[in-house]
Amino acid sequence: MTKTENTINIINVTVFTLVLGIGGLASLSMKKQAVSEIENRQLTPFPAYSDSALWNGNYFRQVDQYYADNFPLRNRWINVSGSFRNKFGFESGDIKIYEPANDAEANEITDTTKNTVNSGPLPDDGAVGEVKKRLFVFKNRAFEMFGGSTAMGKSYANVINSYNRLGIPGLQVYNLIIPVALEFELTEKYKKLQKPNRPAIESIYNELDSTIKKVWAIDEIRKHREEYIYFNTDHHWTSLGAYYAYRAFCETAGLTPVSLDTVRYKVKSTFLGSLYRLTRDPKLKENPDSVKYYLFRDSVRFYIGSSNSLTYWGKSKMYGEGANGSNSYSVFLQGDLPIVKMETQHNNGRKIAIVKESYGNAFAPFLVNNYEKIIVVDQRYYTGDFVAMLKKEGINELLFINNIFAAHTPFHIEKIKRLKK
């Protein structure tokens, strides 16, 4: 080995050792975070020592994960990595492909229902979309692509029918299926990226018992497709989108919807939601969201219930004011609690239970303007005696509200089914 080569090797070893040492010292000295807002998850804490964890290898695996989760300037490196991934997409025609093609099936079913409002795709306007992480990034927004099967939709309808056949005297059942945002933004050029939502909803409604009232929220929402009805970077709808579904529900249920013209509200500004976290797309980062929530005049007593008791109700507040950042949508009903109850000053005898997934959180507060009692059950987390609860609380109306993915997903269908023990 020559003297020059030896010098180079010494320099390499020295630089490597210095970088390793500085990184290790920084890792030990820098303040540790408990939660990653970028990834919306808990970071790994330093593991507690035990002999069993040491000998089975779990202890050092958790130590490795701890240092991986607490690497110096980790969030900045994640953003740099995301930028590189964006640049390495390749052109295919006028769509950038980052991931394997999405698995949403094309659907050529023609919607034959009359009196719908602009129910087809929009005319092509030259805008270029990107398929990324099985999402469609289009016009600085991200969209989920629906591809559910007719068979799954029928299974969902059969479960809803089973609640209509419980034999609870005077119980009126409703069903409201929420379309995805892409239904209202898709252009003719990209129409095969997802199945049209309205025919899928119609297929489910046709399978429901005739006495179940079907809420055509999709038609009311479509009238307002140019408004801020779905988030740009998150998979949920905004409170305004939920409001238009509420208006459609009121029409079906014989109620007068509240007007938002004079209702006070608060806003949680600037958050990047679930779809941004999946894609890390810089276009989405430049188009952040905000959450508006309304402060209705009606006095509301809000309670959090328990799956283990039909009598326990702890007094609380309808909005989770502490929700912020990527978790801002959890302001509604304080997030995905198993069961909550709202009681109002209305003495009209109308008492409704809502079975929902997270989309229902933004919808439920509007009903304080019309109902004496509103009970909201999250189908994913409530494990109590649902039917007994309906009877004990004197519920005479039952609304199932689910986004179109949930209405075509075995997980959600089974969760709804299991409420009826």
User: Quick one: pLDDT at residue 90?
Assistant: 34
Print burial letters for 239-266: b (CB count within 10 Å at least 16), e (below 16).
Answer: bbbbbbbbbbbbebbebebbeeeeeeee
Residues of the chain with pLDDT under 70: 1, 5, 19, 23-24, 26-44, 49-118, 298
User: What's the CA angle centered on 266, arms 302 and 139, to 5 degrees?
Assistant: 120
The candidate with the shortest Cα–Cα distance to 395, out of 416, 418, 415, 367, is 367
User: Quick one: pLDDT at residue 120?
Assistant: 83
User: What's the CA angle centered on 180, arms 175 and 183, to 5 degrees?
Assistant: 110
Residue 334 vs residues 116, 172, 361: alpha-carbon distances, Å: 35, 28, 9
User: Quick one: pLDDT at residue 119?
Assistant: 74
User: Taking the domains of the chain in order of start, what are their residue ranges?
Assistant: 3-76, 129-419
User: Quick one: pLDDT at residue 88?
Assistant: 39
User: Quick one: pLDDT at residue 73?
Assistant: 62
Residue 237 vs residues 180, 225, 389, 420: alpha-carbon distances, Å: 9, 12, 29, 28
Three-state DSSP class for 158?
helix
User: Quick one: pLDDT at residue 9?
Assistant: 74
% of the chain residues with pLDDT over 90: 69
User: Quick one: pLDDT at residue 188?
Assistant: 96
User: What's the CA angle centered on 236, arms 233 and 237, to 5 degrees?
Assistant: 105
CA–CA distance, 297 with 237 (Å, rounded to integer):
23
